[in-house]
Amino acid sequence: MKITSIINGVEQTESNGETMAVRNPFTGELVAEMQLADEAQMEEAIENSVKAFNNTMKMMPAHERADILLRAAQLLEDKKEDFARVVAIEAGKPIKHSRAEIQRSIQVIRFSSELSKHMTGEVLPMDAALRGDQRMGMVKRVPMGVIGAITPFNFPLNLSLHKIAPAIAAGNTVIFKPAEKTPVSAYMLTKLFHEAGLPDGVLNLVLSTGKVAGSTLVPHKKVPKITFTGSLTVGKIIRDTAGFKKVTMELGSNSPNIVFEDAEIDDAVERLVNAAFGYSGQVCVSAQRIYVQEEVYDEFLMKYKEATEQLKIGDPLDEETDFGPMIDEDAAERIQEWVEEAREQGATIETGGERKGTIVYPTIITNVKKEMKVVTEEAFAPIVTVMPFRTEDEAIENTNDSIYGLQAGVFTKDISRAYRVADKLEMGGVWINEASVYRQDNYPYGGVKLSGLGREGVKYAIEEMTELKFIGVRL
């Protein structure tokens, strides 16, 4: 299969750019040959998106945007198994988790369709200000223009839709630059939107390297907004080159979870196995640090180990598989080195620690020191550290001792303690009796500290992709 960029509705088969192979992370087999866009093609896509914004989107009424989105949601519903298989094959995500991603993606398009009809503004009491009588003032939300959407490999469909669908709902056009590892679902998604009736040029797919996007799309003066989901390293580069434009950054974390002595231990264990090892820990809110109160530490660890060892490891396409490969061998080697480094520094590997090709076995690490990489840096891999604590204050202090602050989980039956702790955690979001990894697509999602800037979650993404415009009248 050969896939190309899609500009103004046309597949760019004539590109002079290089090609790149997309491989199945589990089998190593070739999934697709991707024709890469060069700088000139990116430039062409941006010019075309500007035209589509001025000639098409600016005139398109909200009910039409809503209908297109609704049709896209229905088409995705019809083709959900095809999409799930592609995500399983190109991202190495177990098929049951891929299906869950597609189901969420459908919802994200539906939320966007609904909200496109509710971009309300307000009428201001102008006479509240001196000299304001006999004046009228109103505030509208208006689209920004061309949105540059740069996305990661780990939720190739849903995290792309968290940008594309709200952007369209708000009346923008989009340059969609997906991750190099997972361009096939992006290509299928762009075609699906065209099939749903999205006019040419409103969604331009540019299959390029990060380097080309970084030098062309990010600093481009006709692109007023970049919305990025990915690593802190790349986020910093984008922030530096974006100049004066607006940016939304959904970056990484080393997500903490706190288990208090009164928690439902079996429930916490079950949720935290999934939170640490789901999609091989390659989730921005994967549980990486688990703080357990000392009264229940031994019980928790024993049950946690036992449950982790039950995970079925294997082919992502197998219905029974809970746990598959990492995205590539480099990622697997990197985390193996971190685990070895921790072991040399005195940590105990309770289970896992082994690697076979791209598979890194689910790894629980104890006796860690807070300076170790496995604690302080984002692992983005199937490893988790479990640490005992004595007091509530100590748990809060350890949790907040991080450059990141995306989402945390707190397990306790004490409602007062739950609120108290949630208030004190430096996080974009806190879940009580739920693990850090849980996300719904309709609440404000994003981080504090180096976990990001701005929020997604359809309503909030729309706010970030529109400008407030004031119109005043002197009567």
251 part of the interface to ligand NAD, by CB under 6 A: yes
Please give the Cα distance from 28 to 423 (Å, whole number): 46
> Could you say which of 350, 378, 441, 464 contacts ligand NAD (CB under 6 A)?
378
In the set 29, 77, 122, 250, the catalytic residue is 250
159 part of the interface to ligand NAD, by CB under 6 A: yes
Contact 338, 352 (CB under 8 A): no
Nearer to ligand NAD, 93 or 177 (CB): 177
Nearer to ligand NAD, 48 or 208 (CB): 208
Contact 318, 360 (CB under 8 A): no
Q: Does the annotation count 284 as an active-site position?
A: yes
Neighbours of 136 (CB within 10 A): 15
In the set 284, 350, 378, 464, the catalytic residue is 284
205 part of the interface to ligand NAD, by CB under 6 A: no
210 part of the interface to ligand NAD, by CB under 6 A: yes
- The sign of the CA dihedral 102, 104, 107, 111 is negative
Main-chain dihedrals φ then ψ at residue 146, nearest 5 degrees: -90, 125
190 part of the interface to ligand NAD, by CB under 6 A: no
CA 30 centroid distance within chain = 25
Q: Does the annotation count 14 as an active-site position?
A: no
Which residue has the closest beta carbon to ligand NAD? 210
> Could you say which of 37, 41, 126, 250 contacts ligand NAD (CB under 6 A)?
250
Main-chain dihedrals φ then ψ at residue 416, nearest 5 degrees: -65, -45
Please give the Cα distance from 333 to 335 (Å, whole number): 6
206 part of the interface to ligand NAD, by CB under 6 A: no
Please give the full DSSP string across 10-73, using - where no structure is assigned: EE-TT--S-EEEEE-TTT--EEEEEEPP-HHHHHHHHHHHHHHHHHTGGG--HHHHHHHHHHHH
> Could you say which of 6, 22, 91, 150 contacts ligand NAD (CB under 6 A)?
150
> Could you say which of 7, 109, 223, 284 contacts ligand NAD (CB under 6 A)?
284
> Could you say which of 31, 146, 218, 437 contacts ligand NAD (CB under 6 A)?
218
Task: Give residues 21-60 in contact with ligand NAD (rule: CB under 6 A).
Answer: none
- Judged by CB under 6 A, the stretch of 91-99, 110-118, 171-179, 368-376 that binds ligand NAD is 171-179
403 part of the interface to ligand NAD, by CB under 6 A: no
Q: Closest distance between ligand NAD and the C-beta of residue 210, in Å?
A: 2
CA angle 41, 43, 44 (to 5 degrees): 65
- Judged by CB under 6 A, the stretch of 23-31, 57-65, 176-184, 261-269 that binds ligand NAD is 176-184
Please give the Cα distance from 124 to 304 (Å, whole number): 56
Please give the Cα distance from 109 to 297 (Å, whole number): 42
- The torsion defined by the Cα of 127, 130, 136 and 139, in degrees rounded to 10, comes to -100
**Chain residues that interact with ligand NAD, rule: CB under 6 A:** 150-154, 159, 177-180, 210-211, 213-214, 218, 229-231, 234, 237-238, 250-252, 284, 378, 380, 406, 452
Would you name the residues annotated as active-site residues?
250, 284
